Amino acid sequence: MRVTDERLSLTAPSNRQLRADGGGRRTDGTGSDGPTCPNSLIVVSNRQPYRHEYDTAASTAGSDRPATTADAATGTDETVPESTDETDTRPITVDEPTGGLTAGLDPVLQQAAGTWIAWGDGDADFDVTDEHDCVAVPPNDPSYTLQRIALSDEAIDSYYYGFSNRVLWPLCHGFTDLVETRSNDFEWYRTVNERFAEAVREHATADSVVWLQDYHFALASQMIRDRVPQSTTVAQFWHIPWPTSTTFQHCPAGRTLLEGLLGNDLLGFHVDRYAERFLDCVHRYLPAADVDWDRRTVTSGEQTTRVVATPMGIDAESYDQDARSVSASQRSSLFDRYDIARENVIGLGVDRLDYTKGIPERLAAVERFLEWNPSSHGEFTFVQTATPSRTDIPAYERYGEFVRSEVERINQRFGTQAWNPIVYTEDYLSAAELCALYRRADLMIVSPLVDGMNLVAQEYVASSVDGDGMLLLSQGTGAHETLGSHALTIDPTDTDGVARQLERALSLSPAERHLRMNTLRKRVFDGNLEWWMTAQFDWIRRVRNETLRDDATRVADSDAEREFDSNSEADSDSDPDSDSDFDPYERTSSV
């Protein structure tokens, strides 16, 4: 059983200098012509771009963000700054983001000399900050301010592991049966949102753009709006799906959340259907707010929120380059480590171990495929990496146990001494290893039941530099909107259907595989991270101009009123017979 053509050499030279950890950061200065934010930029996110930790075994044991979780995509910087704590002489290391949004925003912040506000979750974080909890970053070439918010264990348990990930995450993905409401979680969520809003107030000027990331801050925008000058622009990007209005009715404090989000001038989602569902929820549950469906705006009192859909992309060039840079020996050692037969047909799944990602459904389809295709036994290997995350939450723990037991069951059913159909690991792979797998995999199954976007699908495409990989993509992902036409669409709940698409993928002619992959690559490169950020900043500019125009109109109106009033006063001063109860607004309306 072979589907792979003769593959190109894996040692094509890189023409761009990349970080050794393959994190996608450009070190050749090419990032300087990237997207620019209008005005001074303040980013607010749960995760921070740099984390300081004591360099001891104890420091990782005590962290709630172990280096093996995908939530915590980090790479360790080689710099070892000294602790500022005179009593503690242990060296401090700095973790940096290795991918996705944080890595993409970091150069933008550097260029804008802005401010980033985030939860300080490193054990040495507050030993390197000043009296305002601020530290200049990047550590080797400081150009912007990172303000860290200290959160107590109780706050983290309730705000992060509580309302954010026991209520909002399952609810927004439609898993209402997994929503867990615990007393105090929402209050802590509100308190933490307030802490962040206060921090923003300290930095914001009339000129600032505040850009919040994700569902951890549904209340913060309105709190910020109440604290900063009218002309400050407040924007937010919601990275996960927005649920239907029927699902949203199960949301505790749903109206309060909607009101919180309407503090934004701009609210971004990945795809149209999430933006439309948000407007529908506002229409149903906040009847006083005025929804303009054509312009996709909501007006509530004096505040107008523009709702947009801008699908997030990846740093496609970096994945492409990393995939080309992997040496044959690196790939061999990876395959040896996991005991993957080099010559086999390789299917791949890469996920956080999260119940939205459809991993058991995928395994069931692989099992069905193996049932139907005895000739594939010994020749087909499905590699699944699943990095544990949010393990403090029982639903995640149960899910992990189920996935592991399914892998074991299927391997016992079909495996032989020489071959296991499924290679499963919970190791957090380096970006280079990930790209090596992406490049080598003959096909990738991306089967979330629901997903805001799904970056893994895009990463696979960008890393498929030989142009012959095949993508099976769930219709429940945001990525399906742009990639669905040239991927093989799957409904993860239809086991036979996915197995059939797996068979189909393996029987496509090389010409068709190349045709499909080339189109997918064009889409991923055209809509990359830089495109997404430029689109966001263009929208921010636009709503900012609209707000300034509206403000100018309001000022002009009130100036005219004042002028009118003072004329009236002058008139009345000069007219001893004038009525002292005169109401200028009556005159205005009658004019």
Q: Is 94 in the site for ligand GDG (CB under 6 A)?
A: no
Shortest CB 324 distance to ligand GDG, Å = 17
Q: Is 529 in the site for ligand GDG (CB under 6 A)?
A: no
Binding mask 266-305 for ligand GDG (x = CB under 6 A): ----------------------------------------
Q: Which of residues 6-65 bind ligand GDG (CB under 6 A)?
A: none
Q: Is 387 in the site for ligand GDG (CB under 6 A)?
A: yes
Q: Which of residues 301-330 bind ligand GDG (CB under 6 A)?
A: 312
Q: Is 452 in the site for ligand GDG (CB under 6 A)?
A: yes
Per the omega criterion (within 30 degrees of 0), is the bond before 138 cis? Answer: yes
d(C-alpha 48, C-alpha 39), whole Å: 22
d(C-alpha 422, C-alpha 240), whole Å: 29
- Of the candidate spans 53-61, 125-133, 424-432, 496-504, the one that interacts with ligand GDG by CB under 6 A turns out to be 424-432
Q: Is 434 in the site for ligand GDG (CB under 6 A)?
A: yes
Sign of torsion, CA 259 260 265 270? negative
Do the Cβ atoms of 60 and 121 come closer than 8 Å? no
- Using alpha carbons, select from 464, 461, 488 the residue that is nearest to residue 474: 488
d(C-alpha 411, C-alpha 425), whole Å: 14
- Of the candidate spans 93-101, 125-133, 363-371, 463-471, the one that interacts with ligand GDG by CB under 6 A turns out to be 93-101
Nearer to ligand GDG, 360 or 584 (CB): 360
Phi-psi region of 90 (alpha: psi -120 to 50; beta: other; left: phi over 0): beta
Q: Is 139 in the site for ligand GDG (CB under 6 A)?
A: no
Q: Is 464 in the site for ligand GDG (CB under 6 A)?
A: no
Q: C-alpha distances in angstroms, 285 versus 204, 246, 248, 529?
A: 31, 11, 10, 34
Q: What is the DSSP letter of 18?
A: B
Per the omega criterion (within 30 degrees of 0), is the bond before 421 cis? Answer: no
Listed in sequence order, the residues at least 6 apart from 62 whose beta carbon sits closer than 8 Å to its beta carbon are 123
- Of the candidate spans 5-13, 30-38, 427-435, 531-539, the one that interacts with ligand GDG by CB under 6 A turns out to be 427-435
Among 48, 110, 310, 454, binds ligand GDG (CB under 6 A): 454
Listed in sequence order, the residues at least 6 apart from 91 whose beta carbon sits closer than 8 Å to its beta carbon are 54, 55, 80, 82, 83
Phi, psi of 273 (to 5 degrees): -65, -30
Q: Is 70 in the site for ligand GDG (CB under 6 A)?
A: yes
Shortest CB 507 distance to ligand GDG, Å = 28
Amino acid at 335: F
Shortest CB 440 distance to ligand GDG, Å = 15
Among 204, 228, 348, 455, binds ligand GDG (CB under 6 A): 455
Q: Residue count at the site for ligand GDG (CB under 6 A)? A: 23
Q: What is the DSSP letter of 111?
A: H
- Of the candidate spans 36-44, 302-310, 329-337, 426-434, the one that interacts with ligand GDG by CB under 6 A turns out to be 426-434
- Of the candidate spans 103-111, 367-375, 448-456, 502-510, the one that interacts with ligand GDG by CB under 6 A turns out to be 448-456
Q: Which residues pair with 485 in a beta bridge?
A: none
Q: Which residues pair with 119 in a beta bridge?
A: 149
Nearer to ligand GDG, 35 or 289 (CB): 35
Q: Is 98 in the site for ligand GDG (CB under 6 A)?
A: yes
Helix, strand, coil proportions of the chain in percent (round to 5)?
Answer: 45, 15, 40
Q: Is 238 in the site for ligand GDG (CB under 6 A)?
A: no
The number of beta carbons lying within 10 Å of the beta carbon of residue 577 is: 5
Among 431, 437, 529, 535, binds ligand GDG (CB under 6 A): 431
Q: Is 453 in the site for ligand GDG (CB under 6 A)?
A: yes
Nearer to ligand GDG, 135 or 431 (CB): 431
Phi-psi region of 448 (alpha: psi -120 to 50; beta: other; left: phi over 0): beta
Shortest CB 271 distance to ligand GDG, Å = 10
- Of the candidate spans 82-90, 107-115, 303-311, 451-459, the one that interacts with ligand GDG by CB under 6 A turns out to be 451-459
Q: Which residues pair with 213 in a beta bridge?
A: 237
d(C-alpha 548, C-alpha 565), whole Å: 25
Nearer to ligand GDG, 204 or 529 (CB): 529
Q: Is 100 in the site for ligand GDG (CB under 6 A)?
A: yes
Among 47, 190, 239, 521, binds ligand GDG (CB under 6 A): 239
Phi-psi region of 301 (alpha: psi -120 to 50; beta: other; left: phi over 0): left
Q: Is 499 in the site for ligand GDG (CB under 6 A)?
A: no
Listed in sequence order, the residues at least 6 apart from 154 whose beta carbon sits closer than 8 Å to its beta carbon are 188
Among 168, 350, 395, 483, binds ligand GDG (CB under 6 A): 350
Specify the 3-state DSSP secondary structure of 523.
Answer: helix
Listed in sequence order, the residues at least 6 apart from 398 whose beta carbon sits closer than 8 Å to its beta carbon are none
What residues make contact with ligand GDG under the rule CB under 6 A?
70, 73, 98-100, 239-240, 312, 350, 352, 385, 387, 428-429, 431, 434, 451-456, 459
